[in-house]
Chains A and B, each alone.
Chain A
Amino acid sequence: MTSNAPSEKRLEELREQAWREGVVPDKGVDVAGGPIPRKPGYYGQPVVRPPVWTWQVPLYFFFGGMAGMAAVVASGAIIFHQVDLARAAMWIAAIGGAVISPVLLIMDLGRPRLFLNMLRVFKHRSAMSMGAWILSTFGACVVPGLIALELNAHQVFAGTLDQLLCVASCVFIFGSAIFGTLLATYTGVLIGATVIPAWFLHRALLPIHFGTAGLGSAAAVLELLGHRMPALNVLGFYAAAVESALLIWLSVDKHGVADRAIHEHGSGWLIRIGEVLNGPLAIVLRLLGMVPFAAISFLIGALVSRFGWIAVGKVSGSDPESVFAAERY
């Protein structure tokens, strides 16, 4: 039986070639399971495991970073007597750091009901353990800090108690600022100190990126809430300038096959789009005086690049060639 289907035609050709030449030397396509696999490693199987983390983790990186750095902005505002700004910043820090972040982290666990086991031990050599403690301490500073600040601002109490509240709010706000900077930056250590090639090769860059994106995000949200002031604009410029520098760093500091997940695939595009939005584009929009647009651009960029870095981890961790290549560094 003959057919005109392409597959049948191909078989006919092979038969003719075999008849004519006595041999068909063409290797043809690399059949999965054909003898002598030509894929790198063991049948192209991953050497390390890609992260199992889902959408909650990059979202947590975004909100945690913003909340942590909002506490820093709140401290600056308190020192320079801008109580309204400090209150808004502390609300962002409290909602982001004491509500949204823990919820996202617990949702991401394989067994959410055991989340308290995170505080079972203190291990300085585990960035995950440090992160759990940093987030808890941040929450323990930011919530009383906000309550004290609000009570003080609304003049609920009078006299000595009010003065005590003022002191307490300052102490808690400065405390949340210190742990806030760690909350915003430790996430870079968290993914930098792993076996995923594209992550550990950029372990110095990641905390700078996550921390600065957090600072810029905090300033951007405050601006969008109506706090248009030069200080926040300067912070916006600073964060966007650092992000632009990181974009250049990332495109210069290439490691070929080892970190190709950053420069190729969809994951590479997420990183690039994110960095352009919160780097150069945010600067240009600020220079043009379009502050709200700059703020939105920065926020979207910060969010997209967080998703980008997790996507990079998934691509890079599944790529055996990257793992082999990275071991040369």
Chain B
Amino acid sequence: MNQRKHSYVRDHVEVGFFTDPSVCIGCKACEVACKEWNQVPDDGFTWSGNSYDNTGHLGASTWRHVMFLEQDRQKGNQVTGPMGLASDSEDPFRWVFLSDVCKHCEEAGCLEACPTGSIVRTEVGSVLVQNDVCNGCGYCVVSCPFGVIDRRPEPLHDAGGAFKCTFCYDRQKSGLVPACAKVCPTESIVFGRLDDLRARGAERVQQLQQGGYTDAQLYDPTETSVRGIHAFFLILGEPEAYGLPPKPQVPTIYLKSAWTSAFATAIASIIATLVAFAFFS
């Protein structure tokens, strides 16, 4: 599925990523491929001490991030843990890998917030930052409910602008699959038509639940103001453990109450001033 040429950009087809941790082997090829293809600068070599994850979080120079979750739960019916731990052990353990990425929201907070029009929606429904237009105001950073987009600090290449996953828009225009999906050896990252992927995700959840992964679910917040994401995930367990907000909201829903308060304050200030000058001069 990931190796075929396509014409989604020309045909204006909505595309997406479906990322499935149940088959991820944590090889980080997606991180490497993303960095290489997009020429993303390194953002420091630090040892986090958190499992095998030294990347930490998505950011201006990290557009794919493989998480390494260590959980005190059984992984389906698998027998895991030290020295052949039985499946009904009192000390269960599982190791879950998930490749995180920009969600390309249906209602994107960053896109709504951008005052320069630098952030746009493409023909395939992805959210793209036009680097040459961005002036680095930083408002998208506090408008993304997933903490994806960030301003790149000095002294990195192209510092000052906001960066995030481009969905390899340049590759897609040439009919190529995004670099991360292309290199994924287990098809844990699948790229394709959004409707196809949603069906595939639902089917995979069912499959896993039958296989004993009772806590398998899709992470696609369609019920909130984000109205769904184009890069959605299958997760084992709760979204919180993956650092994913359970109910993400696009911050434009707060505008009405905030502006109401602003207008009320504006009017009150004018009245107070007029009263002060009229009666206390």
Contact = CB atoms under 8 A, between A and B. Distances in A.
Interface of A: 31-33, 35-37, 40-43, 45-53, 69, 72-73, 75-77, 79-80, 82, 108-112, 114-115, 117-118, 120-121, 123, 125-129, 131-132, 177, 181-182, 184-186, 188-196, 199-200, 203-208, 211-212, 214-215, 229-235, 238, 313, 317, 320, 323-324, 327
Q: Is the interface of A mostly helix, strand, loop or mixed?
A: helix
Contacts of B115: 118, 121, 123, 126, 128-129, 131-132
B281 A317 contact: no
A42 B278 CA distance: 59
25 contacts: A33-B50, A36-B70, A46-B147, A46-B243, A48-B142, A72-B273, A108-B137, A109-B136, A110-B152, A110-B161, A110-B162, A111-B161, A112-B135, A115-B135, A126-B115, A127-B255, A181-B266, A181-B269, A181-B270, A189-B261, A203-B257, A203-B261, A206-B261, A317-B142, A327-B248
A128 B257 contact: no
Which one of A49, A53, A126, A192 has the greatest number of beta carbons of chain B within 10 Å? A49
Interface residues of B, number: 82
Contacts of A40: 240
Contact of A203 (B49, B136, B254, B264): B254
A80 B274 CA distance: 9
Contacts of A52: 138, 141, 150-151
Contact of A195 (B71, B249, B265): B249
Given A42-B69, A203-B258, A110 B159 contact: yes
A203 B255 CA distance: 8
A45 B243 contact: yes
A229 B50 contact: no
Contact of B144 (A48, A53, A118, A200): A48
Interface string B233-271: 000000011111111110110110111111111110110
B262 to A, nearest CB: 4
Contacts of B162: 110
Task: Please list the 8 inter-chain residue pairs (A to B) with the smallest Cβ-Cβ separation, ordered nearest first.
Answer: A110-B136, A110-B160, A42-B243, A181-B266, A33-B49, A114-B135, A129-B115, A207-B262
B48 interface: yes
Given A51-B141, A109-B136, 6 more contacts: A111-B161, A128-B115, A184-B269, A189-B258, A208-B261, A211-B262
B178 to A, nearest CB: 23
A186 B133 CA distance: 24
Nearest to A215: B269
B78 interface: no
B263 to A, nearest CB: 8
Interface string B198-218: 000000000000000000000
Contact of A43 (B53, B152, B275): B53
Given A36-B71, A109-B135, A125-B252, A43 B269 contact: no
